[in-house]
């Protein structure tokens, strides 16, 4: 390997790495212990001249596709390429709106993971067999649309767009839909299996599946990376771990920890499947 340069610790190496991979420059990015930054290594020294040309193009404004500033027209195009993401977000908004403002418990009873009953003034979750025996198979998925409070909803919708839209736009609606269904099924089941209660909801299990999938995909396929920044992964993992500590309860945070972990593991496993790598291309960015 031939050492190229060290990127300062305050700069994200992923955009430049994507640019080099799209130029078919084989390289590795490794931590630099002395500076705390990231060292770029050229795997094939015979590509040195091609690498210099790619770096010069980068300095002149070449950027990976999808990272340019977005105009109104490009936003419209992005929305058209994310129908599954928009449907999932819309359903979450409508179900939560109905629960919080219109129908309340009626919505909860309709979308809970297993049927609920009231005994001696307490809400009792029936076993999973009740869902299967009744044929209410939608219950295995529908808790992802129910949110308890507007901050809970907004937080999940934000990450559902940031991560889900990127996957759908670059890899297609079908792959995203399969990931959503698997993540919903497994994260909901994990939450119910550990706690024995159907009183939970939210898109966070799916969001953590997006996170795990994107993170591992970027490391297995840097030439077609989705672009998850290391800081985001660290922040979301930190949030998940916080929810597993007594501190979360003392702060009044009631988090679906098992759903988060189940979703994350689902996303990691999904990234290990033999998916085809989408074609990549390099475009010029004329914006300053």
- In whole angstroms, how large is the CA radius of gyration of the chain? 22
Closest to 202 measured CA to CA, from 247, 159, 166, 236: 159
Q: Distance (Å, rounded) from C-alpha 288 to C-alpha 266? A: 40
For the chain, what percentages of helix, strand and coil (3-state, to nearest 5) are there?
60, 10, 30
Q: Distance (Å, rounded) from C-alpha 259 to C-alpha 190? A: 6
Q: Distance (Å, rounded) from C-alpha 66 to C-alpha 38? A: 23
Helix, strand, or coil (residue 7): strand
Closest to 264 measured CA to CA, from 221, 195, 215: 215
Question: Is 117 noted as a catalytic residue in this protein?
Answer: no
Q: Distance (Å, rounded) from C-alpha 223 to C-alpha 64? A: 10
Give the DSSP letter of residue 147.
-
- Kindly name the residue from 125, 198, 260, 287 that is annotated as catalytic: 260
Residue 284, φ and ψ in degrees, nearest 5: -90, 140
Question: Is 27 noted as a catalytic residue in this protein?
Answer: no
Note whether 270 and 182 are within 8 A (CB).
yes
Note whether 199 and 123 are within 8 A (CB).
yes
- Kindly name the residue from 204, 250, 286, 287 that is annotated as catalytic: 204
Q: Is 42 left (phi over 0), alpha (psi -120 to 50) or beta?
A: beta
Active site residues: 204, 260
């Amino acid at each position: 390997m031939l050492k190229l340069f060290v990127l300062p610790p305050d700069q994200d190496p992923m955009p430049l790495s994507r640019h080099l991979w799209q130029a078919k420059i084989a390289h590795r990015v490794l931590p630099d212990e002395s500076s705390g930054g990231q060292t770029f290594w050229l795997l094939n020294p015979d590509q040195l001249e091609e690498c210099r040309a790619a770096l010069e193009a980068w300095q002149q404004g070449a950027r990976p596709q999808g990272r340019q500033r977005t105009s109104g027209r490009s936003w419209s195009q992005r929305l058209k390429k994310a129908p599954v993401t928009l449907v999932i977000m819309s359903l979450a908004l409508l179900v939560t709106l109905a629960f919080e403002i219109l129908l309340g418990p009626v919505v909860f009873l309709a979308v809970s993971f297993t049927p609920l009953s009231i005994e001696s003034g307490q809400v009792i979750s029936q076993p999973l067999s009740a869902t299967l025996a009744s044929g209410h198979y939608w219950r295995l998925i529908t808790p992802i649309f129910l949110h308890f409070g507007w901050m809970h909803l907004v937080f999940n919708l934000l990450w559902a767009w940031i991560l889900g839209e990127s996957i759908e736009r670059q890899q297609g609606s079908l792959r995203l839909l399969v990931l959503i269904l698997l993540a919903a099924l497994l994260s909901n089941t994990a939450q119910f299996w550990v706690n024995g209660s159907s009183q939970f909801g939210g898109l966070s299990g799916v969001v953590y599946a997006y996170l795990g999938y994107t993170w591992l995909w970027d490391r297995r396929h840097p030439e077609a990376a989705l672009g998850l920044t290391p800081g985001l992964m660290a922040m979301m993992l930190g949030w998940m771990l916080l929810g597993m500590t007594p501190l979360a309860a003392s702060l009044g945070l009631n988090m679906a920890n098992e759903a988060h972990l189940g979703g994350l593991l689902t996303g990691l496993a999904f990234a290990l499947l033999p998916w085809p790598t989408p074609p990549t291309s390099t475009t010029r960015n004329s914006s300053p």
